[in-house]
Amino acid sequence: QLGLSSKNMVEVEEKKKGKKEKEKKEGKKREGEEAEAVAPKKQRLLSPIANPLADKKLTKKTLKLVMAASKEKRIRRGVKEVVKAIKKGERGVCVIAGDISPIDVIAHVPILCEEKTVPYVYVPSKEELGTASMTKRPTSIVMVTCPKDAADEYTKEFGELSDEFKKILPKF
């Protein structure tokens, strides 16, 4: 074509292929950059009293239990409801969000839990806690209860998590 030798035609075709591959790579890089820009979640500040804070593995387990409990209606949501349940002597575990502001809203709950020997743990996000407890709103605190007539699998999972909470709780 256009008087090019076969050698020159091959070089031209290789250049075209090279340009197409570069464009594909750049397209992937752009997609990767967009994904990286979206991927990192906005890290919220944790309150200084958020101790013991669950690690990623324990957080995942905890939120899974909260989700299972909310399906079975074995959950108390919100500060007022949880405090009332603890004062009445209900057995269970408390899951507190670590990014609550102002701290004063939940500052008294860990003390109440320790007095009544209710295990508790902090999770990093109130949004994740709200989602796990089947609400559209972020939730500051959730209490998961376990009555004697609950399913075996649920009771087993509840017992394991309760033991893990007790292990990481500070001893006074």
The beta strands (E) that lie in 20-145 are given as 75-77, 92-97, 120-123, 141-145
The domains found in the chain, sorted by start residue, are 56-168 (3.30.1330.30)
Residue 95: its pLDDT value, please? 95
Residue 157: its pLDDT value, please? 85
The predicted-structure confidence for 48-66, as pLDDT tens digits, reads as follows 888 899 999 999 999 999 9
Give the strand order in the sheet containing 92-97. 75-77, 141-145, 92-97, 120-123
**Residue spans of the chain under pLDDT 50:** 1, 33-40
Residue 152: its pLDDT value, please? 75
- DSSP 3-state assignment of 125? coil
Residue 34: its pLDDT value, please? 46
Residue 38: its pLDDT value, please? 44
Cα angle 140-142-147, degrees, rounded to a multiple of 5: 175
Answer whether 98's CB lies under 8 Å from 124's CB.
yes
Residue 56: its pLDDT value, please? 92
